[in-house]
Amino acid sequence: MMSPLHRLTCIRDLASRHDTFMVDQWGVLHDGQSVYPGVVDCLARLQDAGKQVILLSNSGKPAAANLPRLVQFGILPTHYTHLVTSGDLARLMLERREYPFTVELGQRYLFLGSDDNQSLMDGLPLEPVDSVAAADFILLSGVRDDRDGLFYHTLLNQALAAGRPLICINPDRVRFSAGRFSFSAGAVAEAYRAMGGSVHFIGKPHPAIYAHCRSLLPDLQPARTLAVGDSLYHDIGGGARFGAATAWVMGGIHQTFIRYVGDDVCAEPDWVLKRFSWDE
């Protein structure tokens, strides 16, 4: 394996190689509290160069719910071509009753999110319920800070006993909250699958979200696309399977080279970035 340091570069040096940039949000553009240095300038330069930029997020919420934070950070709609979230894709699949949201799945769902906002489901002919026993399926879009692992473990045991499928629309396994790393929705879903539960994932690194990007940009060519992210499993692995080149941002989820070298379930990036900035 080539040392990551041998592939250290910057966006300026990669811009001429690619027409489309798929860029993760958390850990690349911002940390949830503030925008990273150089991000707004880098996005503006990509727009000036005529590049297509898709902000591609595993957020289980609609893109509209992500906009206020981005605007607060100075990242405006003029800085990118599309904002795509796994929540938006899930909404579209629900409207169309596409797999895994087939009619046979049922209409009653137990919603688990980072808060009580269920706007993703507004206007859909589905019925929210407040218990596993009453649900046909569990819709997992996030985890709450005020609920610990025991809460989710208990709920998963109930779901397994009842034979309820779980659909995770935020596959991220780790999140940064209250100044520390904590488990995220993807980790809950992986735990349920390890228990023997039926699990479906929507979002990176799974293929449906990349197919959705191609539907938004019909001229998108994977060979001329760069997937940029801080998660070797979600961003780099998903981008590589899509056929895109990949650039790993060092400062996000994988904070050290130790994790990078030792995690054999993760993809190896084509390039390494100190941060998402134009020239460093």
Mean pLDDT of 76-83: 98
Mean pLDDT of 235-262: 75
Percentage of the residues of the chain whose pLDDT score is greater than 90 = 80
Q: What pLDDT does 260 receive?
A: 39
Measured between alpha carbons, how far is 222 from 224 in angstroms, rounded to an integer?
5
- pLDDT-wise least confident of 40-49, 134-143, 158-167, 259-268: 259-268
Peptide bond into 4 cis (omega under 30): no
Whether residue 262 is predicted with pLDDT greater than 80 in this model: the reply is no
Beta bridge partners of 271: 247
List the one residue out of 197, 242, 174, 235 whose CA is nearest residue 29: 235
Q: What pLDDT does 252 receive?
A: 64
Beta bridge partners of 226: 21, 245
Q: What would the pLDDT profile of 27-60 be if each residue is shown by its tens digit?
A: 899 988 899 999 999 999 999 999 999 999 999 9
The contacts of residue 53 (CB under 8 Å, 6+ apart) are: 20, 21, 23, 43, 46, 47, 79, 80, 81, 82
In the chain, what are the domains? 4-87+204-273 (3.40.50.1000), 102-201 (3.40.50.1000)
Q: What pLDDT does 132 receive?
A: 98
Q: What pLDDT does 251 receive?
A: 74
203 phi-psi bin (left φ>0, alpha ψ -120 to 50, beta other): left
- pLDDT-wise least confident of 179-193, 235-249, 262-276: 262-276
Q: What would the pLDDT profile of 80-126 be if each residue is shown by its tens digit?
A: 999 999 999 999 999 999 999 999 999 999 999 999 889 899 999 99
Mean pLDDT of 218-236: 95
What are the strands of the beta sheet with 82-85, ordered from one edge? 8-9, 271-273, 245-249, 225-229, 20-23, 52-57, 82-85
- What phi, psi does 271 have (nearest 5°)? -135, 160
Q: What pLDDT does 3 receive?
A: 54
Angle of helix 207-216 relative to helix 86-96, nearest 10 degrees?
Answer: 90
User: In the predicted model, what is the mean pLDDT of the chain?
Assistant: 91
Mean pLDDT of 188-216: 97
Q: Are 132 and 158 in contact (CB under 8 A)?
A: yes
